Amino acid sequence: MAKSKPIIRPMTADDLETVVILEKELFSDPWPMSAFMDDLASDYSHPFVVQIDKEIAGYAILWIGVDEGHLTNIAVAKKYQRKSIAKRLLSYILRFAAESGLTQMILEVRPSNTPAIFLYESFGFARLGVRKRYYKNPVEDCLVMKKEITGVNLK
């Protein structure tokens, strides 16, 4: 049986166990369950999941502060990587941001994560600066990227 089309929807408490498992599988310094619980309870945080059939294929968290968005987390389960899930999720987040009246989006990424950097650059994110020794386990600098948001240049 063919897989259903991916659905992007708000994250719920029922998703947290799976999201935390994915977080631990995908990141060397994973966020704890409490961080995701805080995001679900926050007025400024907008967590989303990508669901294929009944399976969580990925997730992202957008924080909104006045007119600026901060993409704090985006992840895709290993079995769904290289299937345009991250591209679809980022496109959704940027549309959501534009519809929310945001004028810019920032994010941090490990300089060693070249696939993510390539994705962000393909969406018009530009390198803004570096935060020294930002990441732990392993210690690595952080590349800060920014995108101006207009209704015209969204994919």
Among residues 23, 59, 80, 108, which one is catalytic? 108
Q: Phi/psi zone of residue 104: left (φ > 0), alpha (ψ -120 to 50 degrees), beta?
A: beta
For residues 32 and 155, what is the distance between their CA atoms, to the nearest angstrom? 32
- Alpha carbon separation from 78 to 24, 27, 56, 75, 89 (Å, rounded): 12, 11, 11, 9, 15
Q: Which of 92, 120, 134, 148 is catalytic?
A: 120
Is residue 108 annotated as part of the catalytic site, yes or no? Answer: yes
Please identify every residue annotated as catalytic. 108, 120
